[in-house]
Structure 1
Amino acid sequence: MKGKATFEDNITRLGQIVSELEKGDIALEKAVELYGEGVKLSAACREQLDNASLKITEDSGNATSEE
C-alpha cells in the first residue's frame, strides 16, 4: 500500500463513489460499503483542508510579523 493519499486522490475517489451510488444499480451491501468509504474520504479531505488553512494562516502571520 502506498503512503497517505493526496487531497486530489481523495477527491477523485469520492467522485467515483458518488457516480457509482448515483447509478443505483448496486447491491445494498455494496452501497453501504461505498458510503462508509466516502464518509472516511470526506473526513480525510476536511482534515487536509483544515491543515492547509492553518498553514496559510500561520504563514500569513509570519509574513506580517517579518515586515
Structure 2
Amino acid sequence: MKNIDWKRKLTSRKLWTAVASFVSMMIVATGGAENTATQVTALIMAGASVVAYIIGEGLTDSANIGSDDSEE
C-alpha cells in the first residue's frame, strides 16, 4: 500500500472545493435553503485556507530549523 501525502492533500484547493461542493449539494438535496448552503460552503473554504496556511507555515519553519542565518 502506498503512503498518502496528507500535507499535500490537505493543502489542495481541489480537495476543499470538492468537499464544499458535496456538502452544499447535500444541504440543498435534503431540503435546506440555498442561503444556508452558501454560508456552509464559505465556512468550509475559510477553514481550508486556515489549514493550508498552518501546514505551509509549518513546512517553512521545519525547513529553516537547520539553517544558520543568525545575525551578529
Unaligned runs of 5+ in 1: 1-6
Q: Which runs of 4+ in 1 moved over 4 A?
A: none
Find 2:20's aligned residue among 8, 14, 18: 14
TM-score for both structures, normalised by structure 1:
0.59
Q: Does 1:60 align with 2:66?
A: no
Find 1:36's aligned residue among 34, 39, 46: 39
Unaligned runs of 5+ in 2: 1-9
When the two chains are superposed, the root-mean-square deviation of aligned CA atoms in Å is 3.2
TM-score for both structures, normalised by structure 2:
0.56
Relative contact order, CA 8 A, sep 6+: which one is greater?
1
Q: How many residues align?
A: 54
CA distance in 2, matches of 1:32, 1:54: 33
TM-fit CA distance, 1:64:
3.0
Identity in percent = 4
TM-fit CA distance, 1:33:
0.2
